[in-house]
Structure 1
Amino acid sequence: MKIHYLAPGLAKERRTFAAMLEVDLAHVVMLTETGIVSSTVGADLLAALLPLHGTTPEALDIDPTRGSMLLQVERHLAQTVGAEAAGALSTARSRIDQGATFRRMQDRAETLSLMDAVAGLQRTILALAAEHSNTVMPGYTHVQLSQPWVFGHYLSGLAGRIHDDLSRLWAAYRLTNLCPLGTVGGSGSSWPINRETTSDLLGFSGIIEHARQGRDIFYMADIAAAAAMLMADLNDFATDLQLWSSVEFGLVELDASYCGTSSIFPQKKNPVALEAVRNAAAIAVQWPANILSICRGMGSPDIAMRTAGFLGDALKTAWAMTDLLAGVFETLEVKAERMANRAGDGWTTASHLADEMVRDFGLSYRTAHHAVGAIVRHCIEQKISPNRLQIEDIETIPEFPDLMRGHVDGDWLRNVLNPHTFVAAAASRGGVAPQETARLLTLADATARIDETKIRTEIRRLEETRAHLVARASALAVDAKHQQDGSNEKT
């Protein structure tokens, strides 16, 4: 049997069935309260729609040959309350603004769900950062050893990037959370509708003022861009962990539940969870570009062609990868001792030696930098490590500053080159010194609490709005029924 051409569209609309019913309920409440439809018709429609709330599309006995989900609902209503009452449902609206409204509600819900997951990742990372606020580790630039880092400091930086992701998602959410219902086909309506009523009943923060903008999907590009930026950050986090979990680095180890085995190499512990994140991030690059490409149709009048059904799947992917990475961080084994042992490798504190030469002996930084470069080259050639360096090893090289001769000893050199000395000294704002790391963690924790509170507050608000919509629709149906009964008794 051939698939009906409307079947794929109906399959997509199934995801938005709950939001579609809420739009119908809010619309009927508004039509009834404004007197656009009679209380009798409004009561009949509400009485038929309310039992569908909380059900699945299967309750409608869907037949693809009968058209979109809007028409499937009308068919169900016609069978329940009659064709005349069912036909009143589309008064003062079209499939254009109806569809735009429930799609925004679905996109809003999925964006909020993603933000909730991102806030959870932020909290997990900060918990690990608090455990390792004093864990000194080697730092890298160009994937080469640079200066000592602190693992908790590194993690608090990740939390800061996550907060930026949440800020971008919130900005997209605000653009999404505007109600297009009542813009109809782009010219408004001749009926005395109350758009603020339906907007409030559906939990929107306001209405889309201009009827021509009711069907625009540019807000989807904002969501997609924010989600793609999030995926870019997740890619960075996953890449760091994959590199540092390799045998060559050995700074962290993933829990076995996030790893796979090899079909031929029994010794391998493959970081497949991190690879999944990185693969998904590669695809995410195209999300905003694809939506903008969709908008390059026949210009602004071509609104019917502007739909991005893949956005829901994209947000689900971002949610899944965020949740996956949260699990990785939550179970991550940090090799603190190896981090500390590697922190001074590769002369990572050479820049600090140059700083101390400037500070203690009045050299210019360029002179000190040149001298330290020569010292490092000499020690590498002679296989002398920083923690075993003696003044006799280097004071004979030509580049050794005359101002220092006879004024420093091996203890001074080894202390200056110690990674913990460097960390303690790096106390500039945002640095790795203990007091700065503690301040950054406190700041990140406070920011995370604000982020979580905003998200949980919005989730509760929407839950309460849905409950209020059902209660208001139920009360209106009951009142109309009582009025109808009273009128019948008088007759």
Structure 2
Amino acid sequence: MSKLWGGRFSQSPEEWVDEFNASIDFDQQLVMEDLEGSVAHVTMLGECGILTKKETDEIIHGLSVLKEKAADGKLPFSVQNEDIHLNLEHFLIQEIGQVGGKLHTGRSRNDQVATDMHLYLKRRVLEIQELIRSVQSAILKQAGEHVETIAPGYTHLQRAQPVSFAHHLMAYFWMLERDYGRFEDSMKRIDVSPLGAGALAGTTFPINRQRSAELLGFSSIYENSMDAVSDRDFIIEFLANASMTIMHLSRFAEEMIIWSSQEFQFIEMADAFSTGSSIMPQKKNPDMAELVRGKTGRVFGNLFSLLTVLKGLPLAYNKDMQEDKEGMFDTVHTLMGSLKIFAGMIDTMKVKTERLSQAVNEDFSNATELADYLAAKGLPFREAHEVVGKLVLTCIQQNIYLKDLSLKDMQEASSLIDEEVFTVLEPSEAVKRRESEGGTGFSQVRNQIEKAKTILEA
């Protein structure tokens, strides 16, 4: 089979060279974007008088037929035609004859593929944002049910202070809200049309780039044709945003894995998001959470791969840039799958409130409350810190907790302590009193939840 670009060449490449050169195995995912870009381009060519009305109508009809075949999976893509663009042009010529060869007038594969990827990411980013919202909705549902469920808060993975479990969950809501905003902002760079930039220098045909951009729903065009065909910043930005999002999911996954362990028993994962062992009958493994945690590596890798590909490339297009697509596709599929899994995991997880209550009543996470109590009575905080530290040491030596100390024992440490201290040491009281804006106090957590609901409703 002769190449569509083969006029210059007297010898065809060997089959294994074709296979190495071809990208059709993965860029066929751009089939609909490529066809839509072609329809817009041909429509513009017709309106500009570059193609006759008859030619325009014939080509658009042929492209419509290819769209139907593509939707039905009836296009036999071939590595001999290298990529999605040459495959579709080959099919078009087969469908409507040599007039199909006029499809490529006034454009290059360089601006064509860039247009396809802008269209692809524009759609996928919107879908990813919807999936982020679904995870946030699941978080909000669980948070609404557990405002007054008290859980140990941690720093360094050591018990720190008691918190509302809803407060802990809502931290992830706000992480995802930043992720949503980053994707939103990235649309300014994605929603730009390179179509009509040609190979690198534009074209001598009197095309109307603004019109083709309008037909494709782009808000603007690239101002420089060389930049238009060589820019992959918008993909790098997407990969960076995706890396941030899946990093947040991985952190949450790690906590869910820990919480569901026998040692913690704070939550139980639904059977639908767990698996068993082939040898140990008792096992219930949090495999879906572990997979999300593990998939961060491939998403991060895709980002660094493209950064490395582009770092030394001269302008404008180079074949190296064929390596921009597989990582982009993989990241889209990986992130979307992870978000879908996460929404289900959070929505169906069972929070073990009794176990959480036991946990916060059997630790020293109320030590800061006692220090604050003494400071509020006039003792300098550093001195209060030392007094409480010594009381904690006494408790550790006696294998008891602060609430188990007698009033006499406490007053020996500081005469400022009175009966009120036992109320102060209650975990629920410790949480309720933290009413600083953004704190874990119950009313503050409810304020957060209301603000979050407003965001989702908007």
**TM-score when normalising by structure 2:** 0.91
- Once residues 61 and 351 of structure 1 are traced to their aligned partners in structure 2, the CA distance between those partners, rounded to angstroms, is 69
Q: Which ranges in structure 1 are unaligned for 5 or more consecutive residues?
A: 451-491
1:484 is matched with which residue? none
- Once residues 292 and 234 of structure 2 are traced to their aligned partners in structure 1, the CA distance between those partners, rounded to angstroms, is 25
Q: Out of 367, 372, 389, which is 1:373 matched to?
A: 389
Q: Displacement, 1:82?
A: 2.8
After TM superposition, the structure 1 stretch with the greater mean CA deviation from structure 2, 383-392 or 36-45, is 383-392
Report if the CA contact (8 A) 2:270-2:348 is conserved. yes
Q: Out of 310, 330, 333, which is 2:347 matched to?
A: 330
Deviations 1:353-383 (A, max 9, x none): 11111112x1100011110111111122123
Seen in structure 2, the aligned counterparts of structure 1 residues 387 and 99 have a Cα distance that, compared at 3 Å, is same
1:316 is matched with which residue? 333
Seen in structure 2, the aligned counterparts of structure 1 residues 150 and 373 have a Cα distance that, compared at 3 Å, is same
1:435 is matched with which residue? 443
AA matched with 2:407: I
1:39 is matched with which residue? 53
Seen in structure 2, the aligned counterparts of structure 1 residues 213 and 138 have a Cα distance that, compared at 3 Å, is same
Seen in structure 2, the aligned counterparts of structure 1 residues 348 and 69 have a Cα distance that, compared at 3 Å, is closer
AA matched with 1:335: K
1:271 is matched with which residue? 286
Greater relative contact order: 1 or 2 (C-alpha under 8 angstroms, separation 6 or more)? 1
- Once residues 384 and 59 of structure 1 are traced to their aligned partners in structure 2, the CA distance between those partners, rounded to angstroms, is 73
Q: Displacement, 1:60?
A: 4.5
Deviations 1:163-189 (A, max 9, x none): 111111222233112110011122112
1:196 is matched with which residue? 210
Alignment: residue pair count: 440
Seen in structure 2, the aligned counterparts of structure 1 residues 263 and 63 have a Cα distance that, compared at 3 Å, is closer
Partner SS for 1:120: helix
Q: Displacement, 1:59?
A: 4.2
1:82 lines up with 2:82 in the alignment: no
Report if the CA contact (8 A) 1:6-1:68 is conserved. no
AA matched with 1:284: V
2:152 is matched with which residue? 138
Seen in structure 2, the aligned counterparts of structure 1 residues 296 and 255 have a Cα distance that, compared at 3 Å, is same
Seen in structure 2, the aligned counterparts of structure 1 residues 196 and 232 have a Cα distance that, compared at 3 Å, is same
AA matched with 1:355: D
Deviations 1:75-99 (A, max 9, x none): 333333331x222211111111111
Q: Out of 392, 401, 404, which is 2:414 matched to?
A: 401
Partner SS for 1:289: helix
Seen in structure 2, the aligned counterparts of structure 1 residues 291 and 66 have a Cα distance that, compared at 3 Å, is closer
1:383 is matched with which residue? 399
AA matched with 1:193: I
- Once residues 19 and 351 of structure 1 are traced to their aligned partners in structure 2, the CA distance between those partners, rounded to angstroms, is 58
Report if the CA contact (8 A) 1:6-1:67 is conserved. no
After TM superposition, the structure 1 stretch with the greater mean CA deviation from structure 2, 427-436 or 35-44, is 35-44
1:363 lines up with 2:379 in the alignment: yes
Seen in structure 2, the aligned counterparts of structure 1 residues 77 and 270 have a Cα distance that, compared at 3 Å, is closer
5 Å-filtered alignment, 1:293-312, equals: 293-307=308-322, 308-309=324-325, 310-312=327-329
Partner SS for 1:92: coil
- Once residues 436 and 224 of structure 1 are traced to their aligned partners in structure 2, the CA distance between those partners, rounded to angstroms, is 35
AA matched with 2:119: M
**TM-score when normalising by structure 1:** 0.85
5 Å-filtered alignment, 1:204-219, equals: 204-215=218-229, 216-219=231-234
- Once residues 160 and 33 of structure 2 are traced to their aligned partners in structure 1, the CA distance between those partners, rounded to angstroms, is 53
Seen in structure 2, the aligned counterparts of structure 1 residues 68 and 271 have a Cα distance that, compared at 3 Å, is closer
Q: Out of 86, 110, 135, which is 2:124 matched to?
A: 110
5 Å-filtered alignment, 1:334-353, equals: 334-353=351-370
- Once residues 138 and 193 of structure 1 are traced to their aligned partners in structure 2, the CA distance between those partners, rounded to angstroms, is 65
Partner SS for 1:147: strand
Partner SS for 1:148: strand
2:79 is matched with which residue? 64
5 Å-filtered alignment, 1:247-266, equals: 247-266=262-281
Seen in structure 2, the aligned counterparts of structure 1 residues 322 and 311 have a Cα distance that, compared at 3 Å, is same
